[in-house]
């Protein structure tokens, strides 16, 4: 089997978390939110559009348990902007930086990264392109 890329990630969020998800992922991080089908009840999750080929599905559920260090560390999103631009945007919109690494390893090599935590406890690495 020859894998091409990661298509999507599924994350559970609290049943009442859709508005917080829209604010954090859409307004603060600036990713596209595709939730029309969720709002009409045709789809049980919201899509956070990262690129033409990658999304994060956010599933509101009553059975939500926040991630812990024993069952989840982070997922990584490669961003086009330089790390200083990302840092400035996060500061402008009030998103706290959880950690910063000069050159962590990943699938595309080493590049500067900032880590943030979403309203549900998921840690996200925002990594510049190599």
Distance from C-alpha of 86 to C-alpha of 14, rounded to nearest angstrom = 27
Strands (E) in 1-130, as ranges, are 8-14, 32-34, 46-51, 54-61, 75-79, 99-101, 113-117, 123-128
Question: What band does 31 get if pLDDT is binned at 50, 70 and 90?
Answer: very high
Q: Is the pLDDT of residue 23 over 90?
A: yes
The yes/no answer on whether domain 8-128 falls in CATH 1.20.1440.230 is no
| pLDDT tens readout for residues 71-118 | 889 999 999 999 999 999 999 999 999 998 877 778 777 889 999 999
- Per-residue pLDDT, 59: 96
> Domain extents for the chain?
8-128
- Per-residue pLDDT, 26: 96
């Amino acid at each position: 089997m020859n894998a091409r890329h990661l298509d999507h990630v599924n994350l559970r969020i609290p049943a009442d978390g859709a508005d917080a998800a829209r604010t954090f992922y859409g307004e603060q991080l600036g990713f596209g939110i595709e939730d029309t089908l969720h709002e009409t009840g045709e789809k049980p999750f919201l899509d956070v559009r990262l690129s033409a080929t990658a999304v994060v599905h956010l599933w509101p559920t009553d059975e939500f348990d926040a991630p812990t260090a024993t069952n989840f560390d982070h997922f990584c999103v490669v961003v086009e902007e330089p790390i200083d631009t990302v840092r400035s945007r996060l500061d402008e919109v009030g998103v706290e930086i959880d950690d910063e690494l000069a050159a962590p390893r990943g699938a595309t090599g080493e590049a500067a990264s900032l880590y943030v935590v979403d309203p549900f406890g998921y840690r996200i690495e925002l990594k510049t392109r190599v």
